[in-house]
Structure 1
């Protein structure tokens, strides 16, 4: 059996002693980006915001359809592979899974979409309830608008989003690393197309750097926004000062948690945080369902899921020709580009934790089971918000029109059974969810530099600290600059989409290669 360490060391791109912090090209470009972004933001914040905003708008208008098509093809091709004979092949040449099923599912749920899902779960369905999505013609803020509102949220956080993050690309990486002995790096996604050249040349370093920058941009945002959300929540609930100092304390605690988790590794801290979060989420979900508007939530989920299925292609293929530019830019294209930017490093993490799993169970867990869990969570939290908005108990129209999702989350949480206690529990849940994203991405970035799945613990800590420091500096300038960084991930999706594009055909080829090697197909 090819072991992980021997696979990595056998690669022609194996790291040298200089590479403890990663490939020099990756390190220079990534740290250069962080320093440049912070420097220009301090010197010319308005110029930075304008340039990124214009690039953001151009990308959404001209490449949105490409992003949508990429996600659609990824989902359907992945499902075809899962249902084929090759689906029985196991990743990593292990006879049984390396990680238990519950712990494996917990890490998937808490890592891939958890941070963003928790931020948007309460507010997004309510937003689509008070502002009718362009695909639908229902009157806003009426009973008829409930199902379309949930369906639109399901589109953004459902099947397509999950599939692109961890299906076909994970197959390419698992086959290349565990079977062929290639490094566990984003550049390896292009190995089936370009061969050894992409692994050994500076171009491979640029590929890795682009993917790391995309994840840094996408992770620093939730880390920074969590600090502002927690500071606001603690002020509203318990009267603590809502200040930059409070945000720094929250940021320090959060960074300490996820850095400690990343240092302890996959089998300890990351698993522990994920399991704790899943249990806490199940407890909160049970309380909401039993003591909240149970019948409304049940009916809303069924009607919302029905609308999601019947309007799936209409929502997935809506373009700026049929929807306002601002809506496409801030909703469908923004989310799809965000997920694309995360894909290479998420796929590295999925390939790492799924060793010994069959291709079928890996794809079905990521592309079906996880989206179902996500839609249920959005219904419980966001559906409750819709219920309270419809009944007049709360009014989030003004807050959501200003995209104040921290206000929406806290307002909905306080209206739920348990009031202040429930709000505090959801704030804790949000914090741990973001911590699981921070630890897994710190680990994944360290793996990019090492080229294998056991990077030095100090390297994991280094990247976790770098993202926390970046968030702290940007928060000093105001949360608006964090938002500018979030927009930047849409720009990073342009090169990253080209990096993952070949997986549409190399993913199935990798699956069948593993199946043939294991004697499952001829």
Structure 2
């Protein structure tokens, strides 16, 4: 019943977007305005609350609790673990927004900052760090920790409802099918948003390399072809192939970043990282609670609220994956690893690509701001065209997005199949095909209904109910950690008492 409800709802949205894209776009715009106006504060408070909860938990007495048995060791090395965390949590977004977001903030600055000035450039990098740093990873960390805690310490299933059912309120248990359905819908739309962004980037890359037209038709074809690839991969169960692709993607991303670092303004990139990191740490609280009640500006809704919604909608998918690869680690190690290491990697990535782009725009007058204004997906390739070996880097970047597309889609289909099959780690091939087709259908319908704006709108709308689910998960996790710590403390005290008795005898 839950699967039919979720799949049926998604199918209706897909058909709506394909058959009446203009009508869907108009309705979505109205809903978006209502949500950002009335609930933008909720996104800000929920995400900041998760950051605070993550930090307090990591350094609390509960940090020594293990995700699993006391004698269990982690399955993966620290390096492999970090690589998988980073690839799962960011993927396509890094390539798409690496140049586009800093330049966009520079040319259309946050409220209170004059666009096109050095202050705007500093604000651009500060907000990029804010949008891709500690906050998104804290969302992922708490969702993943909740799933892992109940799965490995309480022998629960890999479902969101397993966490919420531990709450002592009877009505919450009755809502379990709805909770899982909301998680499925949020995940499907969050992943579809990434696939839509990926299609835009692949189309622009093929235009830069091969001269293909940038059009809705080509973007739909890209989604269809790449979706067939990740559905085939998911159905065949070639886990080793996906793992190899993921590792190759991380190497390619590292090589691309290193090439831009060496061939670009190296000193300016280092200065950008240094200055932006200090500015980010200094202003993190102000940015976390920034709203514009006395200013007619949609900037916070377009950027910060969109990102918070995107991370929330991705959190069931990424959370399940992170939980899967984190058994055997302590809570402290888990939180520090999932929040700090990937955040630092994102800071380095954006310093390299964003710092280079801003340097070229300001000092070399490369028309990156105009490229972003015309089509955000072309900004990266416009920057490459102004650099040595730009054509080679464009090919590598396009290949990166294609592989990210396939690996993300493959993993998403598996997770959606698991969630819709009661937590079964081996969903049927039919289930994988169904979810693959639906996710691809969402991406196509959103592109037809308004491109990037429609993708952002859908993400914000469908992440709203799951933000409340995450709050329940955090409360349930705290209660469970407290119970287990008290139980372990009693066992230790009893053990010490018995030792003292033996010694005294």
Instruction: Provide the C-alpha distance between the structure 1 equivalents of 2:402 and 2:338, rounded to a whole number of angstroms.
Output: 23
Please say if residues 17 and 445 of structure 2, whose CA atoms lie closer than 8 Å, have aligned partners that are also in contact: no
User: In the alignment, which residue of structure 2 is the partner of 1:10?
Assistant: none
Query: In the alignment, which of 136, 161, 174 is matched to residue 136 of structure 2?
Result: 161
Does residue 143 of the first structure (1) align with residue 113 of the second (2)?
Answer: no
Q: Work out the CA distance in 2 between the residues paired with 1:146 and 1:112.
A: 26
Other-structure match for 1:334: 306
Shift of 1:437: 2.3
Q: CA distance change for structure 1 residues 380 and 257 in 2, over 3 Å: closer, same or farther?
A: farther
Could you tell me which residue of structure 1 aligns to residue 85 of structure 2? 108
Residues in 2 aligned to 1:492 and 1:244: alpha-carbon distance in whole angstroms: 24
Match of 1:367 in 2: 339
- In the alignment, what sits opposite 2:62? 86
**Within 1, Cα distance between the matches of 2:387 and 2:488?**
52
Counterpart position of 1:424:
395
Note if contact 1:224-1:479 (Cα within 8 Å) is conserved in structure 2. Answer: no
Could you tell me which of 451, 462, 476 is aligned with 1:492? 462
Picking from 267, 274, 283, the partner of 1:311 is 283
Match of 1:414 in 2: 385
Distance 2:62 2:242 in 1: 30
Check the 8 A contact 1:262/1:270 in 2, yes or no. Answer: no
2: CA distance, partners of 1:112 / 1:295: 29
SS at 1:311 equivalent:
helix
Q: Out of 165, 169, 190, which is 2:164 matched to?
A: 190
Instruction: Give the distance between the partners of 1:169 and 1:266, measured in 2 at CA.
Output: 27
Aligned match of 2:155: 181
Q: SS at 2:312's partner residue?
A: helix
Q: Secondary structure at the match of 1:192?
A: coil
Deviation at 1:336, TM superposition (A): 0.9
Task: Tell me what 2:24 maps to.
Answer: 48
Q: Deviations over 1:212-268 (max 9, x none)?
A: 111211212222332233223212322235456644553344224433444466952
1:147-184 deviation digits (Å, cap 9, x = unpaired):
2210011111111111112x222222222222323321
CA drift at 1:196: 7.5
| Structure-2 residue corresponding to 1:34 | 10
Look up the SS of the partner of 2:298 in the other structure.
helix
Q: Could you tell me which residue of structure 1 aligns to residue 501 of structure 2?
A: none
Residue number in structure 2 paired with 1:281: 253
Counterparts in 2 of 1:175 and 1:195: CA distance versus 1, 3 Å: farther
- What is the number of residues matched between the two proteins? 490
- Report the secondary structure of 2:450's partner residue: helix
CA gap 1:110/1:498 in 2 versus in 1, 3 angstroms: same
Q: Are 2:263 and 1:291 equivalent residues in the alignment?
A: yes
Q: How does 1:116-515 map to 2 (within 5 A)?
A: 116-134=93-111, 137=113, 139-165=114-140, 167-194=141-168, 198=172, 201=174, 203-242=175-214, 246-263=218-235, 268-321=240-293, 323-401=295-373, 404-452=375-423, 454-456=425-427, 458=429, 459-472=431-444, 475=447, 478=448, 480=450, 483-515=453-485
**Residue deviations 1:6-52, cap 9 Å, x none?**
xxxxxxxxxxxxxxxxxx22x22222122211222244322221221
Contact 2:163 2:477 in 1 (8 A): no
Query: What TM-score do the two structures reach when normalised by structure 1?
Result: 0.86
Q: Distance in 2 between matches of 1:105 and 1:464?
A: 27
TM-score normalised by L of structure 2? 0.89
Instruction: Tell me: CA distance 1:482–1:220, structure 2 relative to 1, closer, same or farther (3 Å).
Output: farther
| Offset, 1:340 | 1.6
Instruction: Return the index of the structure with the highest Cα Rg.
Output: 2
SS class of match (1:386): helix
Distance 1:192 1:85 in 2: 21
Determine if contact 1:442/1:463 at 8 Å carries over to the other structure: yes
Query: What SS does the corresponding residue of 1:502 show, helix, strand or coil?
Result: helix
CA RMSD of aligned residues (A): 2.6
Closer, same or farther: CA 495–247 of 1 in aligned 2, 3 Å: closer
Q: Secondary structure at the match of 2:318?
A: helix
Give, in angstroms, the shift of residue 411 of structure 1.
1.1
| Deviates most, 506-515 or 308-317 | 506-515
Where in structure 2 are there 5+ consecutive unaligned residues? 494-505
Which runs of no fewer than 5 residues in structure 1 stay unpaired? 1-23
User: Any idea what the Cα deviations from partners look like across 1:365-398, whole Å, max 9, x if unmatched?
Assistant: 2211111111111111111111110124422333
Residue 413 to residue 510, structure 1, CA distance change in 2 (3 Å)? farther
The Cα offsets for residues 389-443 of structure 1, whole Å up to 9 and x where unpaired, read as 01244223334345x2202122123334421111111121222223332222222
Cα offset for 1:303? 0.6
Q: CA deviation at 1:79?
A: 1.3
Give the alignment partner of residue 60 of structure 1, picking from 24, 29, 36: 36
Aligned equivalents of 1:51 and 1:238: distance in 2? 37
SS of equivalent to 2:329: coil
For residues 447 and 406 of structure 1, the distance between their equivalents in structure 2, rounded to whole angstroms, comes to: 33
Which shifted more, 350-359 or 89-98? 89-98
Range with greater deviation from structure 2 (461-470 or 424-433): 461-470
- Residue equivalent to 2:499: none
**CA, structure 1 residues 145+474, in 2 after alignment: closer, same or farther (shift >3 Å)?**
closer
Can you list the C-alpha shifts for 1:292-340, whole angstroms capped at 9, x where unaligned? 1000000011111111111111211110215543112211111112212
Kept in 2, the 8 Å contact 1:262–1:457? The answer is: no
Using the TM superposition, name which of 268-277 and 211-220 deviates more.
Answer: 268-277
